């Protein structure tokens, strides 16, 4: 069963991606040390080999490996100590067979040496000799030149999310600034005659607008700049003026409706009136999220979206549509999900895909997913949830014990 004029989530994502591909994907240069959470906009290539010298990974003696053949604790090999190399220093001489040099962790091996013997297996023996009690093969405890990062090769790909370790690798290669994707510019407008600003005490029948705050936070988490927010009344002229003004500088204008019927019509009408080619999705076969409206204005390169008024629905639709396409446009890896078993049966919605909020409970061998139920519009269903699962269009529901993928939220 397919609802008339309504897109599945996949269809809507496909249409959105086609529209979003025309959005300008700007990049900007930022300091590597400040790049946590940003997405690399170009491959990172090192100009140098890292390490730039043969580095010891242990405190010990640099040797010619062959000299240690047959060495044992009870029958050590005696090698003449030629020098003690300090950290950060270049060894003074080339190492010949029958000799050894002390090298600390991180220190440089002398030429001629091809392995390290850990200090634990060696003992000074007087007369400048070291008794080596362990045989080693060539390369043992030595990092060759370029083993960590090879000059001229890509060591981090475009689309990589910068974590602490990527900052480390970039700094190791001496790359102090990197290109990252510039944030998308987003305007968020809440509509609904019943809404008041969060700082205002609502009168009877009124509610505080929370969608703006929730969507602003989410948009930032997904790498957007929120350049303007506003609360507008269900009055068409004001609506038109505000949306039109927002289209100038925004890549995405999010309208989260009071969800009243009149309001829903407003959103579609306004997008149709202002945007060319206009609305391309009028309703999603998704629970929650049915009253979602998507459109595009080619001249100003703006995506326009009417999200449901219920906070849980608005949040989930944002994540499922925009969270996904923003990541895809920047070439990011998909996030990891957590495999869990359903704690109880949960019904799907006829003819619609269902996005079901769940809590994760530690259990033998993994997690149990407990559905968080609640009337639509309750924000506390979201605060109780750790994530969500998707119940496909063609499934009546999920059964107790069934394995599900939980997406953290």
Which residues inside 102-141 make contact with a second copy, applying CB under 8 A? 104-108, 119, 141
Binding segment toward a second copy, per CB under 8 A, in 69-77, 169-177, 181-189, 244-252: 169-177
Name residue 118's beta-bridge partners.
60
Is residue 131 a contact partner of residue 73, using CB atoms and an 8 Å limit? no
For the bound state, the minimum distance from the C-beta of residue 91 to a second copy, rounded and expressed in Å, comes to: 8
CB of 60 or CB of 296, closer to a second copy = 60
Is 207 a binder of a second copy (CB under 8 A)?
A: yes
> What token pair was written down for 308?
């449901």
98 binds a second copy (CB under 8 A): no
Nearest CA to 115 among 77, 154, 58? 58
Q: How open is the CA angle 35-41-42, to the nearest 5 degrees?
A: 115
Give strand pairing partners of 371: 358
Q: State the minimum distance, in angstroms, from the CB of residue 378 to a second copy.
A: 5
**Site for a second copy (CB under 8 A): which residue of 167, 275, 349, 389?**
167
192 touching a second copy, by CB under 8 A:
yes
Question: Residues in contact with a second copy, total (CB under 8 A)?
Answer: 94
DSSP code for 42: S
202 binds a second copy (CB under 8 A): yes
Residues shown for the chain: 409
What DSSP assignment string belongs to 126-170?
ETTEEEE-S---TTTTEE-TTSSB-TTSEEE-TT-B--HHHHHHH
Tokens of 59: 């405190």
Task: Based on the shown chain and the rule CB under 8 A, indicate whether residue 84 belongs to the binding site for a second copy.
Answer: no
Q: At its nearest, how many Å lie between a second copy and the CB of residue 88? A: 4
Residue 368 in 3-state DSSP? Answer: strand
Q: Contact with a second copy (CB under 8 A): which of 228, 376, 397, 402?
A: 376
CB-wise, 24 or 205, nearer to a second copy? 205
Q: How far is the CB of 298 from a second copy (least distance, A)?
A: 31
Locate the DSSP E strands across 197-288.
Answer: 207-208, 224-232, 252-256, 277-282, 286-287
**By the 8 A CB rule, do 262 and 234 touch?**
yes
Which of 166, 251, 297, 353 contacts a second copy by CB under 8 A? 166
Min dist. Cβ of residue 228 to a second copy (A): 15
Q: In this complex, which beta carbon is closest to a second copy, that of residue 42 or of residue 202?
A: 202
Least distance from a second copy to the Cβ atom of residue 270, Å: 17
Q: Of 252, 185, 222, nearest to 39 (Cα)?
A: 222
Residues 229-288 contacting a second copy, CB under 8 A: 234, 258-263
* Residue 217 near a second copy by CB under 8 A: yes
- Check if the beta carbon of residue 288 is closer than 8 Å to that of residue 310: yes
Phi, psi angles (nearest 5°) of residue 277: -75, -10
Q: Which of residues 286-325 bind a second copy (CB under 8 A)?
A: 309-311, 315
- Closest distance of CB 167 from a second copy, Å: 5
Shortest distance in whole angstroms from residue 240 CB to a second copy: 19
Q: Name the residue nearer to a second copy (CB basis): 257 or 280.
A: 257
Q: Which long-range contacts (CB under 8 A, 24 or more apart) does 1-5 make?
A: 1/350, 1/351, 2/285, 2/351, 3/283, 3/285, 3/351, 3/352, 5/282, 5/283
Please pick, from the candidates 16, 195, 294, 390, the single residue that binds a second copy as defined by CB under 8 A.
195
Q: Determine how many CB atoms are found less than 10 A away from the CB of residue 74.
A: 6
Interaction residues for a second copy, span 170-189 (CB under 8 A): 171-172, 174, 176
């Amino acid at each position: 069963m397919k609802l008339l004029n309504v897109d599945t989530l996949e269809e809507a994502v496909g249409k959105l991606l086609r529209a979003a591909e025309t959005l300008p994907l700007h990049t900007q240069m930022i300091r590597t040390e400040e790049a946590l959470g940003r997405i690399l906009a170009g491959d990172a290539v090192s100009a140098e080999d890292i390490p730039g010298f043969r580095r010891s990974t242990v405190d010990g003696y640099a040797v010619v490996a062959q000299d240690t053949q047959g060495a044992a604790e009870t029958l050590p090999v005696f090698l003449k100590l030629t020098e003690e190399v300090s950290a950060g220093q270049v060894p003074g001489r080339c190492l010949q067979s029958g000799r050894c040099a002390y090298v600390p962790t991180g220190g440089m091996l002398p030429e001629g040496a091809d392995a390290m013997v850990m200090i634990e297996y060696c003992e000074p023996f007087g007369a400048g000799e070291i008794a080596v009690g362990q045989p080693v093969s060539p390369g043992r405890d030595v990092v060759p030149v370029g083993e960590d990062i090879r000059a001229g090769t890509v060591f981090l790909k475009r689309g990589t999310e910068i974590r602490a370790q990527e900052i480390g690798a970039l700094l190791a290669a001496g790359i102090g600034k990197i290109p990252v994707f510039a944030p998308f510019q987003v305007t968020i407008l809440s509509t609904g005659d019943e809404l008041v600003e969060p700082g205002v005490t609502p009168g009877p029948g009124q509610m505080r607008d929370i969608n703006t705050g929730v969507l602003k936070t989410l948009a930032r988490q997904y790498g957007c700049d929120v350049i303007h927010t506003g609360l507008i009344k269900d009055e068409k002229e004001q609506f038109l003026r505000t949306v039109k003004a927002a289209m100038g500088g925004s890549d995405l204008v999010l309208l989260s409706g009071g969800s009243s019927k009149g309001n829903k019509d407003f959103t579609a009408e306004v997008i149709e009136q202002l945007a060319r080619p206009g609305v391309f999705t009028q309703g999603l076969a998704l629970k929650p999220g049915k009253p979602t409206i998507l459109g595009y204005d080619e001249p100003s390169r703006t995506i326009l979206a009417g999200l449901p008024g219920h906070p849980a629905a608005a949040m989930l639709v944002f994540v499922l549509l925009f969270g996904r396409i923003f990541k895809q446009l920047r070439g990011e890896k998909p996030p990891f999900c957590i495999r869990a078993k359903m704690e109880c049966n949960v019904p799907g919605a006829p003819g619609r895909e269902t996005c079901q909020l769940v809590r994760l409970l530690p259990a033998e061998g993994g997690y149990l997913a407990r559905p968080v139920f609640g009337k639509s519009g309750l924000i506390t269903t979201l605060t109780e949830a750790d994530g969500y699962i998707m119940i496909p269009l063609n499934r009546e529901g999920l059964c107790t014990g069934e394995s599900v993928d939980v997406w953290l939220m």
